[in-house]
Amino acid sequence: MFCFCLVLSLAFGQNKKYKTVQHLTGGNKATVTDTVKKARHVKKNGSLTTPKIFGGLQQFRTWTIGLNAGILSGSVVTGGTNDFRNVAIDAGYGFSVRKQFGHIFGLQFDVLSGHMSGSAPRGNDVAITSYRTELGYSATTSAVVNLGTINYMSRKQSVSFFVLGGEGFLAFAPTVYYADGTSYSTKYFNGASKNKVYIHEFTTFAGVGVKFKVNDRMAVNMGYTENIIDDDFLDGIHNRETNGRDYQKDKFSYGYGSLEFSIGKSLEPNIDWVNPVSLMYNELEDHTIGNELTLLRLRISTIESAITELKKDADEDGVPDYFDKCPNTPKGVIIDGAGCPVKVDSVFITRDSVIREILIKDTTAGTEMVYNKTILFNYNSAEVMPAYYKELDKIAAELKVRLNKNVVLSGFSSSEGTSNHNLYLSLQRALAVKTYLLKAGVDQKQLTIKAMGETKAVANNASEEGRTLNRRVQIY
């Protein structure tokens, strides 16, 4: 509701009318539409383009690469223990590639390398003093969720928070050092053939971070991840329970800083720093919207004027002038659906010459009700033609005033087709007139229908003119 009100207040609050748009185009009406189209194109804001709402990802830079370095540790801040009490601080480094699929969600691929070490094992094996593990590589894929992209406090933002989590594989080689000065390394001695370089294990990780905008191309990230390995041999000590299962999963963490670079066209903004709320507000505030609304009002006004013109019926034959193929039809002449008079031997046929007027006496008021009671139909059709709407509306208005009056709707057909078909067609025509009167507010108790088929023809069925007059409903 708030967004809807904001749209109305910004759109209808524009005081510039169509003359303003004309002024912008040098007074040439033909160029108004072109001017608005140009205004709707992406506008330049310094060296960057301003994206539009619902404009799609193609208007942003969505790929980034990053280089990172930090501290690898055989412990995690959320708790849990590994096989050594003392954990050293070692260096790690890596790179990342990220693809954003929206302002909030993205996928990231990371590669990490470095060393981890520690001393003072927790077990009773006093022969071991310390370890050092070479992390050949960690290759992971993670989902990244930006938490600070949508900002209602400020249009522009330079700080954003994110969380990430994913899975991948580790390649590592631990070296264990003994009290007697000797050591043992698994590097190059893994597997049955004794020629593998690293141990490979599955890892799951999660992390948080914050990024700081340097410019639209570059950002500085600070992050922390915790990794859980599907093994207990990261530190070279493999403690197992009596059933042979791992006693615990080794863990390590990585705290890092990174430089992240946005890849793409220089005129496209980095999606990481585009606030959708500000984007929406900027577009609503754009004066071109007010100009477009002004043009829309003009179009609506033009349509309304056209509808008014379509309703005009100069000869009052019931067919609007726009559709009337025979203007200036004499009053009282029977017409077809195109507004042209029906002729027999080149003579116009009037209603009075076809069906005599039937008078319904109003016994309470002493007045008479005269109905133009012949409604003609097209060939094999039971659809009431627009030419008779006005006539039926007059009858409906009269019946709604005189509720004690009833009328009969008798349907007829010409002689084409079988008798059964013509009888059914005459019934459908009578029902069509009844439906029209009911929709106009007439009580159905005042209406009685009859199906007469091709009987009681009022004209010769040997000619098309005669058959046209027989396709009718009589109201009496």
Instruction: Give the pLDDT confidence of 27-75 residue by residue, as tens digits.
Output: 444 444 444 444 444 344 445 566 666 777 888 899 999 999 999 998 8
Domain 343-475 CATH (choose: 3.40.50.410, 3.30.1330.60, 3.40.50.300, 3.30.1510.10): 3.30.1330.60
- φ, ψ of residue 198 to 5 degrees: the values are -125, 160
- CB burial of 157-188 (b: ≥16 within 10 Å; e: otherwise) equals beebebebbbebebbbbbbbbeeeeeeeebbe
Q: Are 271 and 168 in contact (CB under 8 A)?
A: no
Residue 254: CA atoms inside 13 Å, Cβ hemisphere, count? 25
Domain 61-273 CATH (choose: 3.40.50.300, 3.30.450.70, 2.40.30.170, 2.40.160.20): 2.40.160.20
pTM (two decimals): 0.50
> Residue range 390-408: average pLDDT?
89
Q: What is the DSSP letter of 330?
A: P
Check residues 459 and 238 and name the one with the higher pLDDT: 459
**CA–CA separation, 231 vs 247, rounded Å?**
9
Beta bridge partners of 212: 159, 220
> Residue range 394-400: average pLDDT?
90
In the prediction, which pLDDT does 473 show?
92
Beta strands in 282-337 (DSSP E): none
The model's confidence at residue 285, banded by pLDDT at 50, 70 and 90, is low
Most confident of 17-21, 371-375, 393-397: 393-397
How much of the chain, in percent, has pLDDT values that exceed 90?
29
> Residue range 148-167: average pLDDT?
79
| Nearest residue to 20 via CA among 303, 306, 298, 304 | 298
Check residues 56 and 280 and name the one with the higher pLDDT: 56
Residues of the chain with CATH 3.30.1330.60: 343-475
The encoded tokens of residue 234 equal 């990261």
| Inter-helix orientation angle 276-285/2-12, to 10° | 30
